[in-house]
Chain A
Amino acid sequence: MKTLRWVIAIFLFGWLGQYLMAVMIPYLVMERLYIKAAERSGYNQLVVISRIDETSRWVVRPSPDLMYASCMYNLEEGPLAISAPVPERYWSMQFYQMNTDNFASITNQRKQQSRVGTRVEVTLVGPDASPSNYAGEVIQSPSVRGVMLMRASGIGDDSQMLSALKNSRCSPLNKVASS
């Protein structure tokens, strides 16, 4: 009987340990990435990441075919206004919460091809905000902090794509409203 109890206890602790690890690892990875990026460039502002090559070390397995712009967001002090021109070639705007889940996506592909040539204007609100209080396209983040990542094709003549990223914005909504 004693042996059986030990076997059950070991099984339970093993299962619990594995479960906790699976749940915690995405948070830890994201937390590290978030802190590292925010130290370099701050919160709630857009940073365009230059051309990727063999010297790029900001993340492992960087994609050399894409250009990136990121905004490490923190919605503690209110929503953000995100604005971006949508170019013709591959482009996407992805939102990640702190467990790395991709909770929202805007693209210029397939059903959203009609966005090409327009300007995306998004209000990003926190988990406790009421989206109906805001006009236009509203995205609600499940976590107060997270990452907005824009990807754009960097193949061949990338001047238009780079210009689209550089003309994008990510800033507190109250600053946009008062300016």
Chain B
Amino acid sequence: MYYRLKSVSGRPLSLNCRYRIEGGEYEANWWSITVYGPDYFLIPNQEKRYSYNNENIARDDNGQWVIHMSTHKETGNWLPVGASVTDVDHQNSNHDFDLLLRLYTPGDTYLQNPESAPLPTVTREECS
């Protein structure tokens, strides 16, 4: 199952802003959250970090996790964003990047009612 997010409170995800993504566990064999450029490909960055998943994300004692998403390096779980390799016509795509949550082999509850999955909360913290 796939869930895509390209805006927060109606405002497209922007390279000028810093975002906080919060979530927990999913009823699935495996999950990942990946950031893509508007060209649908991975965004180049020095760390070669494009995603987090249930095997490599740092959690608190309650199993909850937070990812910071921004152009500048941050401590903890950090998803770097930046310019894409391919030039994109922004008339067709008004966001600078988007997020994709993948749930592999999800439980029956999600399959029967995809809205029941507790999706991560994305908050826009500050913009320049």
Residues in A lying within 8 Å of B, measured CB to CB = 52-54, 56-57, 60-65, 89-90, 92, 105, 107, 109-110, 151, 153, 155-156
CB distance from B127 to the nearest CB of A (A): 25
Q: When chains A and B are docked, how far (Å) is the Cα of A52 from the Cα of B43?
A: 12
Cβ–Cβ < 8 Å partners of B29 in chain A:
90, 92, 107, 109-110
- Is B43 in contact with A54, judged by CB distance below 8 angstroms? yes
- Is A90 in contact with B30, judged by CB distance below 8 angstroms? yes
- Is A63 in contact with B102, judged by CB distance below 8 angstroms? yes
Q: When chains A and B are docked, how far (Å) is the Cα of A62 from the Cα of B34?
A: 9
- Assess whether B90 is interfacial by the CB under 8 Å rule: no
> Among A53, A64, A151, A156, which residue has the most Cβ atoms of chain B within 10 A?
A64
Q: How many pairs of A and B residues are in contact by the CB < 8 Å rule?
A: 62
- Is A65 in contact with B43, judged by CB distance below 8 angstroms? no
Q: Which of B94-124 contact A (CB under 8 A)?
A: 100, 102, 104-105
CB distance from B45 to the nearest CB of A (A): 8
Nearest 5 A-B pairs (CB), nearest first?
Answer: A60-B40, A109-B29, A64-B50, A54-B44, A54-B42
Cβ–Cβ < 8 Å partners of A151 in chain B:
104
B5-13, B51-59, B63-71 - interface stretch: B51-59
- Is A153 in contact with B43, judged by CB distance below 8 angstroms? no
- Assess whether B78 is interfacial by the CB under 8 Å rule: no
Q: How large is the interface on B (under 10, 10 to 19, 20 to 34, 35 or more residues)?
A: 20 to 34
CB-defined A-B contacts under 8 Å, sample of 22: A52-B42, A54-B43, A54-B45, A56-B42, A57-B41, A61-B34, A61-B36, A61-B40, A63-B32, A63-B34, A63-B102, A64-B42, A64-B51, A89-B55, A90-B29, A90-B104, A92-B105, A107-B105, A110-B29, A151-B104, A155-B55, A155-B56
CB distance from A174 to the nearest CB of B (A): 33
Cβ–Cβ < 8 Å partners of A57 in chain B:
41
Cβ–Cβ < 8 Å partners of B48 in chain A:
53-54
- Assess whether B17 is interfacial by the CB under 8 Å rule: no
Q: When chains A and B are docked, how far (Å) is the Cα of A134 from the Cα of B40?
A: 43
Q: Which of B51, B55, B85 makes the CB contact (< 8 A) with A90?
A: B55
CB distance from B65 to the nearest CB of A (A): 15
Q: When chains A and B are docked, how far (Å) is the Cα of A109 from the Cα of B58?
A: 22
Contacts A54-B50, A109-B30 aside, 6 further interface pairs with beta carbons under 8 A come to A54-B48, A61-B100, A63-B102, A89-B55, A90-B55, A156-B55
Q: When chains A and B are docked, how far (Å) is the Cα of A107 from the Cα of B30?
A: 11
- Is A65 in contact with B41, judged by CB distance below 8 angstroms? no
Cβ–Cβ < 8 Å partners of A107 in chain B:
29, 105
